[in-house]
Amino acid sequence: MPNKRIIASKKGGPEVLKLAEEPMPEPRPGEVRMKVFATGVAFADIFMREGYYPGVSHPVTPGYDIVGEVDKLGDGVTSLQPEQIALALTVTGGYAEYLCVPAVSLVPFQHELDPAEAVSIVLNYLTAWQMMHRFAHAAPGERILVYGAAGGVGTALLQLGQLAGLEMYGTASKAKHDRVLDLGATPIDYRSADFVQEVKAHTQDGVDVVFDPIGGSHLGRSYRSLRGGGRLLSYGFSSVMSQGRPKIAKFMAAFLRMPRFSALHLMNGNKSVAGYMIQTLAEKRRDWYREDLATLIDLLAQKKIKPIVAERIPLAEAARAHELLNMSAVVGKIVLMCNQ
């Protein structure tokens, strides 16, 4: 039986994503072949497609996260059994019907969960949870500012922030303000308002935590939104995007305009700045990865969180999924359905 997967054989826009058939992959020692039910579509996939993701070269199959069923065990794998349901952070390869992954990256579960909702917790909610609790240590009653509050990570941050008893502010286009309000945050229109002034108008002295996926010079404004003792979490570079696609000139501008936070500056302001990269942390702190995903699976099973699935799109239509993501036209997470 052939395996189907999406391949970007060259750099470019959504049109370079093509469905291909190939022989079924065989797991190597320590690996597991997964029958993929669903895989998420993320901004990182766009960077891979365009040739800007570090360590990834073409041809490439995007797909940062999966949920599926264990189909075949490689030699030496004893921690999993065939037909177990599990999820994993894959970074690449998820846009496929079958995929071989290291057994250590899989977190199995027994709950009967919607695959599209389950896959949403791997990248989006794990990112949000670890930034909020492992790095920022947000405490009940503290104030947070979330950029892109209607996106995949943004909506995850707001849902987890509600559970944590936080006072929340979120930037979004005007059309998405009702959803931000529904998630318990005060919306700020980033297109027509200065968010630093808006935050100060609402809070007088600023927020305790800012989650910034934009990067570049934007980090300086995020820093100014903090009150004393505040924490800035940087986890992306969407500032390099132009009309939905990353541009090399914007990469250079973002790097050159990025503020340099000196130790003295941070000490004087009693503030802190940290970066977050889920792939690196998952590799270095496998214990956190497994523990935090298990916690999020339980929260999903208990209906304490509810991932917003913007679109469920067949695997063969991956290009359309990227077009939607390029336009920032959706609220929540776009999911490709691979074996449905």
Cis, peptide link before residue 59, omega less than 30° from 0: yes
Pull the structure tokens for residue 166: 């936080």
Pair of tokens at residue 70: 């264990």
Number of structural domains (the chain) is 2
Residues 205, 87 within the same domain? no
Co-location of 224 and 136 in the same domain: yes
243 and 265: one domain? yes
Predicted pLDDT at 253:
55
Beta strand spans in 31-158 (E)? 31-41, 65-73, 85-89, 98-102, 106-109, 143-146
Residues 31, 168: one domain? no
Mean pLDDT of 67-86: 96
Listed in order, strand segments (DSSP E) in the chain are 3-8, 17-22, 31-41, 65-73, 85-89, 98-102, 106-109, 143-146, 167-172, 185-189, 207-212, 226-234, 241-242, 245-246, 272-275, 309-314, 333-337
Q: Using alpha carbons only, what angle is made at residue 69 by residues 67 and 70, rounded to the nearest 5 degrees?
A: 120
For the range 296-301, what are the long-range contacts, defined as Cβ-Cβ under 8 Å and sequence gap of 24 or more? Answer: 296/121, 296/125, 296/126, 296/129, 297/87, 297/107, 297/109, 297/111, 297/113, 297/118, 297/121, 299/163, 300/111, 300/113, 300/117, 300/118, 300/121, 301/109, 301/111, 301/113
Answer for the pair 329, 244: CB distance below 8 angstroms, yes or no.
no
| Helix H or strand E segment including 196 | helix 195-203
Whole-angstrom distance, CA of residue 37 vs CA of residue 109: 14
* Domain presence at residue 297: no
- CATH of residue 150's domain is 3.40.50.720
- Range from 87-101, 110-124, 226-240, 291-305 carrying the lowest mean pLDDT: 226-240
Structural domain contains residue 207: yes
11 pLDDT above the threshold of 70: yes
Query: What's the CA dihedral at 90, 91, 93, 94 to 10 degrees?
Result: 60
Statement to judge: residues 180 and 64 lie in one domain: no
**CA separation (Å) from 184 to 157, 159, 238?**
11, 8, 25
pLDDT band at 247 (very low <50, low <70, confident <90, very high): low
pLDDT (mean) for 260-277: 74
**How many other CB atoms sit within 10 Å of the CB of residue 223?**
22
The answer to whether the CB of 150 falls within 8 A of the CB of 176 is yes
Q: Within this chain, do residues 332 and 190 fall inside the same structural domain, yes or no?
A: no
The answer on pLDDT for 231 being more than 60 is yes
Domain end marker among 259, 278, 297 = 278
pLDDT, mean of residues 147-174: 94
Mean pLDDT in residue range 306-322 = 95
List, as one string, the DSSP characters of 252-304. Answer: HHHHHHS----HHHHHHHT-EEEE--HHHHHHH-HHHHHHHHHHHHHHHHTTS
Asked if 277 contacts 301 with a C-beta cutoff of 8 angstroms, the reply is no
Among residues 263, 278, 293, which one ends one of the domains?
A: 278
Shared domain check, 168 and 99: no
**Which residues fall within 8 angstroms of residue 251, CB to CB, at 6 or more apart?**
52, 237, 240
Is residue 117 in a domain?
no
C-alpha 168/C-alpha 334 separation (Å) is 24
Q: Is the pLDDT of residue 240 over 80?
A: no
Of residues 204 and 107, more confidence is placed in: 107
More confident residue, 216 or 178: 178
Any domain includes 85: yes
Selected residue with higher pLDDT from 188 and 95: 95
Which pLDDT tens digit goes with each residue over 35-53?
Answer: 999 999 998 999 899 888 8
Range with lowest mean pLDDT among 166-175, 248-257, 320-329: 248-257
Amino acid at 125: Y
Segments of 47-148 assigned E as strands: 65-73, 85-89, 98-102, 106-109, 143-146
**Are both 55 and 181 inside the same structural domain?**
no
Q: Does the pLDDT at position 122 exceed 80?
A: yes
Q: Which of 296, 270, 336, 330 is nearest to 107 (CA)?
A: 296
pLDDT classification of 235: cutoffs 50, 70, 90: confident
Q: Does any domain span residue 292?
A: no
Same domain, 33 and 7: yes
Range of the domain at 105: 3-110+308-337
